[in-house]
Amino acid sequence: MNELEMRCLKIATNVRDYCRLLKHDTINLVYIKQIVRSTSSIGANYIEANENLGRQDLLMLSKISRKEAKETQYWLDLIIRKMI
């Protein structure tokens, strides 16, 4: 596993562990499901992109990883704003 794959794994596990600490009310359950999916998808798509299936595949899966990272930021923002 390369450094970026390890960092993707770390963020996914950190977010998962953080979500376990959140109150599991109706709103948070939606946010938790979405953020766990998006953080785990970042690393999964990055790992798949590195399978050397061609330049176009690498670019597309890298873009998907970036999209999932942006989505993760969105869900984190919603969780933080709910707590304020």
> pLDDT tens, 28-49?
999 999 999 999 999 999 999 8
Q: From CA 78, how far away is CA 71, in angstroms rounded?
A: 11
Look up residue 55 and give its two tokens: 């330049």
Per-residue tens of pLDDT for the chain, all 84 residues = 899 999 999 999 999 999 999 999 999 999 999 999 999 999 999 999 888 788 898 899 999 999 999 999 999 999 999 887
**CA angle (51, 17, 33) in 5-degree steps:** 75
Q: Yes or no: say if 72 and 42 are a contact pair by the CB < 8 Å rule.
A: yes
The two three-digit tokens of residue 47, written as one number = 């790992």
What is the CATH class of 3-83? mainly alpha
For 2, the token pair is 């390369």
The structural domains of the chain, with segments of one domain joined by +, span 3-83
How confident is the model at residue 4, as a pLDDT?
92
User: Structure pTM?
Assistant: 0.86
Residue 28: Cβ within 10 Å count: 17
